[in-house]
Amino acid sequence: MKSLLTLSALLVVATAFGQWTEQKYENFSLVTTQPKGQTLGYSPSSGVKILTVDGLAFKDLNKNGTLDKYEDWRLPVDVRAKDLATKMSVPQIAGLMLYSGHQSIPGRVAGFGAATYNGKPFPESGALASDLSDQQKTFLTNDNLRHVLITSVESPEVAARWNNNMQALVEGLGLGIPANTSSDPRHGVVANTEYNLGSGGKISMWPESLGLAATFDPALVQKFGEIAASEYRALGIATALSPQIDLGTEPRWNRINGTFGEDPQLSADMARAYVDGFQTSKGSEEIKDGWGYHSVNAMVKHWPSGGPEEGGRDGHFAYGKFAVYPGNNFETQMIPFLKGAFNLSGKTKMAAAVMPYYTISFNQDKKYNENVGNGFSKYIVTDLLRKKYGYDGVVCTDWLITGDEGKTPDQFMGKSWGVEAMTIAQRHYKVIMAGVDQFGGNNLAGPILDAYQMGVKEHGEAFMRARFEESAVRLLKNIFRTGLFENPYLDIQTSKSTVGKPEFMTAGYEAQLKSLILLKNKNHVLPLKKNITVYVPKRTIPSGRDWWGNVSPERIEYPVNLNIVKKYFNVTEDPSKADVAIVVVKSPEGGVGYSKEDREKGGNGYVPISLQYGKYVATLAREKSIAAGDPVIDPTITNRSYKGKEVTASNVTDLKTILDTRAAMKDKPVIVVIQGNKPMVFAEFEKQVDGILYGFGVMDQAVMEIATGGAEPSALLPVQMPASMEAVETQQEDVPHDMKVHVDSEGNAYDFAFGLNWKGVINDKRVATYKKKSK
């Protein structure tokens, strides 16, 4: 990559050849063309040679001794991509249509993302962390896969070496097509789900998307995109599986924290800024039309918005396969795409790729009358996205939609919603004919080749060949535009110095400060004076089951790093000796909406999702669910209603901790700090406390800095906070701003765009802009 290549200790020799210079690095060579032209990187071990044409250097990727159009960096990307697509065999195109399962570097010993090295788990293999696993070698070589999703990496140095090893391997295969590595969001503080496994580690740390939205500052989000793109490219990542721009109109959905909230205009502005930041290259980094060596393809998700899940149940599981539209707001859900990600301010014009969500957009297909997952729907992908809205970028399925589902609705397996009875090959064929280009989470080319033969039988060889080339061109353009064909290699030292560099870390920390929302400040209790004595109660962390079904036992521990707290305060374990209490809790963890126990007792298995800590009985729930049905694992369940059933948040002890602390502190102030991941009901405790700070993915130090006045709170609510669970139950999943909101003891309504600073209620230009538009 042009911007990441510097003369370093790795330099072995520099040789001049007419108008270009070759520099040899650790495991690749770098060719710089003069007086103008592209910087080329290639591996001598791959068999690729340098061609000289008109005094300029080009890579002979297919080793035929001739400069082909796709090898000529002077030509437009469209010309190069079309030329290469015609040269590719059907198996090679099938490999290009694959997107790997989650790869950690090095591979895990067991479980999700497990891998082997020479047949052995990594610790027993003697392999280097940067070596390719057996599985990676197989899907790169045998299945022609060229799109790889990475999660956790041991270090930036290891990631860079791994990238160079992978690129050297694929450069020597066939037509020399480089690999396009991608990542789910990895700039958060914690990795706890399948779709943020790369978070944490040595990289700048920023708030979650809902926290970024709380800044109401698109310019900050664009700056994040620019910094994140620099770090991504230093890790060898050229595609971001983000931003998640589903409209967060269903407050119970467990992925709402990954959205930019429920407001269509704010979400659109944030989406536009995010994509512009990631995709735009400037100055010497730019190759053409805003694309270049700094660019990271943004794959926006999830078309046409996965937000309005019935009852808040998530589409990763069979119990959450339906998105519903009781308010007839299907078009509103698409605004962040149409007015944001597809309407950029920058020169790249629109997001490079789109991912449909798992969900069935229930009863929205008015042409073919199908209720199938969005990735299987010709109406959703071809008729709407491509034809009506003119999108011609890559469309990639969400991960594992062609796989078989589990035996029960709560198992994390395939997500073939609406086509459960089809074979795996038939599902691939349906996806292709729907207009999709790529299969997320599929390492094997076999089912795609089977689908090709199905198409040949139905439409003829010429038709299917043209259909495959159509997808190949779209996929190749994203590799060409980011400069990977010219140089996919990384300089190790530059990668080490770029990822997590101090100025990036500072920018992320400052964004965290700007994302913390002050909701309550009775009698101006905040900011607190430094070095007063505070009581921080321990938190009971309930036993639970993680994303993959692993069970963790209950434990009791401090919810914050006390060493950080002690930099600001004296800390006591005795409330009677404290000047103030700081209670750190998580927002209510009110379940996922499905209970195996309820099913075993003869119920339908469906239960409420609660946004309050205490027991909630769903007396106002629908008598009959809007959608239901699974022809394979639960054919007898035709109503997913949970009316009359009850649920208590697994972390109900957080409420007890708040109230017990209130009693122990008597008339002394109690400040509650909430580590939020979705909206919540405050009525259970708000009147008993003096201050409330609400954050979406921030570090302890940022909380302490705000609490002591080191920075003034400026964030605003990007979502409404409900007055009660009855307000949640009677809102409509697809409608923004439709809940009765909580009003606190100070008379403040916890509505969209509400927040406090030290003076009181914030009423600035941001509020005027977005609050007015939301009405």
Per-residue confidence (pLDDT) for residue 4, from 0 to 100: 40
515 is written with which tokens? 């994302």
What was the pLDDT predicted at 19?
A: 61
How many Å apart are CA 454 and CA 456, to the nearest integer? 5
Amino acid at site 228: A
Cα within 13 Å of Cα(591), Cβ side? 23
How many C-beta atoms surround the C-beta of residue 128 within 10 A?
15
> pTM of whole model > 0.85?
yes
Please count the other Cβ atoms lying within 10 Å of the Cβ belonging to residue 140. 21
Contact 40, 25 (CB under 8 A): no
The pLDDT of residue 553 is 83
pLDDT in tens, 457-498: 999 999 999 999 999 999 999 999 999 999 999 999 999 999
Sequence-distant (≥ 6) Cβ neighbours of residue 489 within 8 angstroms = 1, 5, 25, 28, 30, 41, 42, 43, 163, 164, 167
Residues pairing with 694 in the sheet = 517, 674
Segments in the chain below pLDDT 70? 1-20, 32-36, 190-201, 545-550, 773-775
Q: What Å distances lie between residue 367 and 280, 370, 430, CA to CA?
A: 37, 8, 16
Report the pLDDT value the prediction gives residue 549, as an integer from 0 to 100.
63
Buried b (16+ CB within 10 A) or exposed e, 29-43: bbbbbeeebbbbbbb
- 353 near 297, Cβ under 8 Å? yes
Give the pLDDT confidence of 123-177 residue by residue, as tens digits: 999 999 999 999 999 999 999 999 999 998 999 999 999 999 999 999 999 999 9
